[in-house]
A = this chain, B = another copy of it.
């Protein structure tokens, strides 16, 4: 069995690999809130375990085995988030922190029981996809809200889950995955978004909008 720290590194490498392409020591260290020297040390350990590919100064990549473990931990995390949310009523801005600790500790049996209880779900409370038991993830085609234009309609697909205050803020607007809204106006010069959610007019700052990803984008009906 891997240590919690090693699992966190694999999970982080996976996520960074998805976003950008190459995962440098510095990026990884920053993401994990650790010094670069520490990241180098762990990367070397993971390499001897054949969980990553690594050449010094060249960045790090997951091997098939490393990727499988990363997905397993991510599955734990997201199932836990949804379970805590649905079964125990933990608010959506609290589940991430909780799952961050639990993900390393639950058994395969408990994982399977939560999965069954939840009806084999495919997304967590923030809209992130839950890898299935074989490590298969469905890639979503969502785009950042900041790419939207005046008049377009869409549905929230996913929001960043690691900032509790941001989640509370989004919650105050009812901006959950599944919520539909229409862009009324995008203010020029990197300005805020004015949107219509179920008749309510709401202003969303650009920094916040960066963390909201949307789906099913439709252009305005021509009048």
Contact = CB atoms under 8 A, between A and B. Distances in A.
Nearest to A84: B110
A87 B118 CA distance: 12
A90 interface: yes
A141 interface: no
Interface residues of A, number: 18
Contacts of A97: 107
A69 B117 CA distance: 33
A3 to B, nearest CB: 13
A137 interface: no
Nearest to A87: B87
A211 to B, nearest CB: 24
Contact of A106 (B102, B109, B110): B102
A30 interface: no
Nearest to A102: B105
A102 B106 CA distance: 7
A94 B113 CA distance: 13
A89 interface: yes
A98 B110 contact: yes
Contacts of A175: none
Contacts of A87: 87, 117
Nearest to A100: B105
A107 B101 CA distance: 10
A155 interface: no
Nearest to A107: B98
A114 interface: yes
Contacts of A107: 97-98
A88 interface: yes
7 contacts: A84-B110, A88-B113, A90-B109, A90-B113, A94-B109, A102-B105, A105-B105
Interface of A: 84, 87-90, 94, 97-98, 101-102, 105-107, 109-110, 113-114, 117
